[in-house]
């Protein structure tokens, strides 16, 4: 897993190779028929499992905020066992590292029977069933992922999703300047991730505090909430520490009751439009004597004290910040 965490700059570079140029997306990367198919799309349905599902939850924000299209996301094991109403012109999008996850594959087959007009897979294994059975495919080029815990497949999925967000956005009024901004952010991502990997040592120090803990709470808002969910999943899976993630605004509706000095609370807190709201939620945690560990930018203005530790991830641009903030949480796990 650690090897694969460190491979992320290269894996992202490879996933972008030949797909962006001069601040623009090269749409040919989706295949010859893609243009016509994407022209007719006005909504996205994402189905996936586990970490891939979390990538979908993050992309939902991008499809809505940047591409102006409706996007819903569902775990495959739920999708496949319920009745559906299919709205026409919806693209059925599956996300999978392996392309062989039984629930995701079953969901794709059901979607075709249900009459979804087109299917699209973002996948890491070229010869997988999911790739073979989907109309359109965008390969992540992470290379083999041997670790059970997904790391580079997650961040490369998020990169591939941003490319698709641009393609769909172009058809729904995305300004050229927005496309350029996203592409520039993607272009600098490998270097940015290299910087984040330098946090390994302070995070290893922080991890020592976790060794005797039995529970942890992860908080985020907006697209950082699924980042928090992914951080909690990694911690459970790798450290066998029970962890849950909440959208920070939900704290006061119940889970705050659990917070005390024994449960570390990890916040994913880049300097974005929800920062002030998040800070207000974190004050609720402090008021209950909770110990806060905040992953944030130096520009976010958190001041350390005995109950609040800050790991500075650096200022980040909006579109790629979920990718950047995922990496320190992988290191922590
Ligand atoms: O191969 P997939 O992406 O379809 O796998 C889905 C999940 O089993 C997977 O993402 C799982 O949650 C992660 N390996 C956990 O780290």
Q: What is the pLDDT of residues 178-215, one digit of tens each?
A: 999 999 999 999 999 999 999 999 999 999 988 889 99
What's the residue count for the chain? 333
pLDDT digits (tens, 9 = 90+) for 53-89: 999 999 999 999 999 999 999 999 999 999 999 988 9
Q: Are strands 215-220 and 118-123 parallel, antiparallel or unpaired?
A: unpaired
Average pLDDT, stretch 282-290?
Answer: 91
**Mean per-residue pLDDT, 309-318:** 85
Output the pLDDT for position 306: 87
Q: Tell me: pLDDT of 317 over 80.
A: no
Indicate whether 262 pLDDT > 90: no
Instruction: Output the pLDDT for position 129.
Output: 98
Instruction: In whole angstroms, give the CA distance from residue 240 to residue 230.
Output: 14
Q: Is the pLDDT of residue 257 over 80?
A: yes
Query: Closest Cα to residue 7, out of 183, 167, 154?
Result: 154
Q: What is the mean pLDDT of residues 277-289?
A: 93
Is residue 112's pLDDT more than 80?
A: yes
Query: How far from chain centre, in Å, is Cα 258?
Result: 27
**Ligand 1 proximal residues by C-beta, below 6 Å:** 49-52, 96-98, 101, 104, 148-150, 237
pTM of the predicted model as reported, rounded to 2 decimal places:
0.97
Partner residues linked to 269 by β-bridges: 296
In angstroms, what is the span from residue 283 Cα to ligand 1's centroid? Answer: 34
Per-residue pLDDT at 210? 81
CA atoms within 13 A on the CB side of 181: 11
Could you give phi then psi for residue 153, rounded to 5 degrees?
A: -70, -35
**Average pLDDT score over the chain:** 95
Ligand 1 atom, smallest distance to 98 CA? 1
Q: Which two tokens stand for residue 297?
A: 């930018």
Confidence of residue 232 (pLDDT cuts 50, 70, 90): very high
Residue 8's Cβ-count burial label (10 Å; 0-12, 13-18, 19+) is: buried
User: CA-to-CA distance for 94 and 192, rounded, in angstroms?
Assistant: 28
Residue nearest to atom 9 of ligand 1 (CA): 50
Expressed in angstroms and rounded, the spacing between residue 148 Cα and the centre of ligand 1 is: 8
């Amino acid at each position: 897993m650690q090897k694969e965490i460190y491979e992320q700059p290269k894996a992202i570079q490879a996933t972008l190779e030949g797909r962006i140029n001069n601040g623009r997306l090269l749409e040919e990367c989706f295949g010859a028929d893609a243009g016509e198919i994407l022209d007719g799309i006005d909504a996205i349905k994402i189905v996936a499992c586990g970490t891939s599902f979390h990538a979908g939850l993050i992309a939902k924000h991008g499809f809505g905020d940047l591409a102006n299209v409706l996007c819903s996301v569902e775990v495959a094991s739920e999708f496949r066992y319920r009745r559906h109403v299919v709205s026409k012109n919806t693209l059925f999008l599956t996300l999978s590292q392996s392309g062989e996850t039984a629930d995701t594959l079953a969901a794709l087959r059901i979607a075709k029977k249900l009459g979804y007009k087109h299917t699209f897979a973002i996948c890491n294994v070229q010869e997988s069933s999911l790739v073979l059975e989907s109309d359109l495919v965008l390969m992540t080029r992470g290379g083999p992922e041997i670790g059970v815990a997904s790391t580079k497949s997650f961040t490369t999925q998020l990169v591939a999703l941003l490319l698709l967000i641009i393609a769909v956005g172009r058809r729904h009024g995305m300004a050229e300047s927005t496309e350029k901004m996203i592409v520039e952010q993607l272009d600098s991502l490998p270097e940015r991730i290299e910087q984040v990997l330098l946090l390994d040592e302070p995070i290893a120090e922080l991890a020592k505090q976790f060794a005797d803990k039995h529970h942890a709470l992860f908080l985020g808002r907006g697209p950082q909430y699924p980042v928090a969910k992914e951080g909690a999943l990694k911690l459970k899976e790798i450290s066998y520490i029970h962890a849950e993630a909440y959208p920070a605004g939900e704290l006061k509706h119940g889970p705050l009751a659990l917070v005390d000095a024994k449960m570390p609370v990890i916040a994913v807190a880049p300097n974005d439009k929800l920062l002030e709201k998040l800070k207000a939620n974190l004050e609720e945690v402090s008021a209950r004597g909770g110990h806060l560990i905040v992953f944030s930018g130096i520009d976010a203005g958190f001041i350390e004290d005995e109950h609040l530790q800050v790991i500075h991830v650096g200022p980040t641009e909006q579109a790629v910040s979920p990718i950047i903030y995922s990496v320190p949480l992988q290191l922590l796990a």
